[in-house]
């Protein structure tokens, strides 16, 4: 049975830009679209089969402290902490967490002047390091938009881009 069959049978939950979803429902597939300079981060505990997905736009909540209060998931620093806390609240074991990232490209910044994607990944790595976690998979950079999905039951994280689909 292929991925398409699994996704159509299971409940698809879309994670919008600047949003986060955590789940313990093994039938769900979490998906986020149009990752350009934004980052999509999945966290999954294969033992408990709980996890989540976040779509962060900007690296640091210090850019707009007021916005960070109302929309913490927009920012990699506050959003990834919220994602980690969310899966821990569902019973995840920090020792088993599998963390993956996609996006961080420069689709509208070909000269690399702003480096938002690069800064998003740097902030993610800082947050993970402070929480004694490492990335298990990564598909970042370039100029192509990506779609990222997490199958809650299996923990399979897939990246779809114009050239096809890969598993992280």
The span from the first CA to the last CA of the chain, in angstroms, equals: 19
Question: Choosing from 20, 38, 41, 92, which is the catalytic residue?
Answer: 38
Q: What is the DSSP letter of 62?
A: G
Residues 52 and 29: beta-carbon distance below 8 Å: no
Q: What is the DSSP letter of 163?
A: T
d(CA 46, CA 31): 18
Active site residue 56: no
d(CA 156, CA 105): 22
Residues known to be catalytic: 38
């Amino acid at each position: 049975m292929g991925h398409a069959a699994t996704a159509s049978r299971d409940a698809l939950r879309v994670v919008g830009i600047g949003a986060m979803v955590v789940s313990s429902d093994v039938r769900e597939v979490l998906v986020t679209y149009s990752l350009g300079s934004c980052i999509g981060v999945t966290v999954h505990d294969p033992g408990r089969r709980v996890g989540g997905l976040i779509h962060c736009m900007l690296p640091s909540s210090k850019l707009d402290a007021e916005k960070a209060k109302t929309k913490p998931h927009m920012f990699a620093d506050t959003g990834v902490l919220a994602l980690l806390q969310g899966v821990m609240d569902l019973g995840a074991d920090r020792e088993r967490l599998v963390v993956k990232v996609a996006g961080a490209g420069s689709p509208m910044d070909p000269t690399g002047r702003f480096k938002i994607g690069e800064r998003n990944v740097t902030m993610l790595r800082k947050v993970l390091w402070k929480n004694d976690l490492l990335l298990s998979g990564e598909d970042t950079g370039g100029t192509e938009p990506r779609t990222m999905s997490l199958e809650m039951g299996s923990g399979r994280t897939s990246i779809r881009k114009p050239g096809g689909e890969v598993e992280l």
